[in-house]
A = this chain, B = another copy of it.
């Protein structure tokens, strides 16, 4: 069985955090005898610089052959003004789509050691553990027709199409129901069915699937505006949230920020067979790139997710997560999660502390 990983460090702080994560990967690979091997490729701004496009064919080919992709972060001001069809984000959207990574899992977990970092009151967020399941290859992100046209009266008009078919909705809902079964058993499906037909079909399809195949899952529905409110008011009411591409983009970032420590949150984007791309929830943070101060823990935890979901190595995954817990217990903090009385460390030192704790 092949166990090949493609590592795409990307831009900004990407290379730094990936180097720390690779160190951890190396150590678990040996310690648990996982038999993983990996190579490196270019995605995003660095790929534009080298090949003129954010997702070169050589990267896409390597990604197709690999069993999992480990991604740092892409983008930065350097590429913000180039022609939009070849901006770094386009590479990200294209690799998601080409690899059919339709299921984006974004956990929002508050580490007890970091409860203070949240802008919310401790009693509101203590113990927070939400999983957002976002549809990632459909909806308004990819819908046709789209563009900017000139109307007869000479003014411009921009348009996009939000579109979902039953089969697309079913396969993402299935992921949410299955994962909820391994957790709290509750799924909240988020839509705007009182206004948008596309989400009316979403709601109906999710409801039907639950009734026929997941009678033991407790399914609820919420309008997206209310969900944005409830996440602020009482986030612990949620277990698994399932929603479309755009609402998932917005709500998963809101949920991540509830923890106050987005530098701690990994994510997974999976296809139907369990192949996946794993990446931190945070961005490429160009403002602190190259300074060696970025938090590598989200990337390290992305390695753990990769071991769990693609390679089914639960023991090794758990070992990484426990090691991260240990370094937090040792009061080690990068700048983004620093608080009084803790010991501030840089990217590399944090990575090494995790390795040591393993």
Contact = CB atoms under 8 A, between A and B. Distances in A.
A262 B229 CA distance: 10
Contact of A158 (B157, B198, B260): B198
Contact of A120 (B121, B159, B194, B201): B121
30 contacts: A84-B200, A89-B194, A119-B120, A119-B121, A119-B124, A121-B121, A140-B140, A140-B196, A143-B159, A146-B197, A146-B198, A151-B165, A155-B165, A156-B205, A157-B165, A157-B201, A158-B163, A158-B197, A158-B201, A159-B198, A160-B163, A160-B196, A225-B249, A225-B253, A228-B250, A228-B257, A229-B253, A229-B256, A229-B262, A254-B254
A159 B158 contact: no
Contacts of A251: 228
A173 B141 CA distance: 25
A77 interface: no
A148 to B, nearest CB: 5
Nearest to A260: B233
A251 B148 CA distance: 25
A163 B146 CA distance: 10
How many copies of the chain does the oligomer comprise?
Answer: 2
B257 A232 contact: yes
Interface size class of chain A, counting residues whose CB lies under 8 Å from the partner chain: 35 or more
A230 B205 CA distance: 33
Interface in A153-176: 155-167
A253 to B, nearest CB: 4
Interface of A: 84, 87, 89, 93, 119-121, 124, 140-141, 143, 146-148, 151, 155-167, 192, 194-202, 205, 224-226, 228-234, 246-247, 249-254, 256-258, 260, 262
A162 B165 contact: no
A224 B155 CA distance: 25
Given A158-B199, A224-B250, A225-B249, 19 more contacts: A84-B194, A89-B194, A119-B120, A119-B232, A120-B232, A143-B159, A155-B166, A155-B167, A156-B201, A158-B201, A160-B198, A161-B161, A161-B162, A226-B253, A228-B257, A229-B253, A229-B254, A229-B256, A233-B260
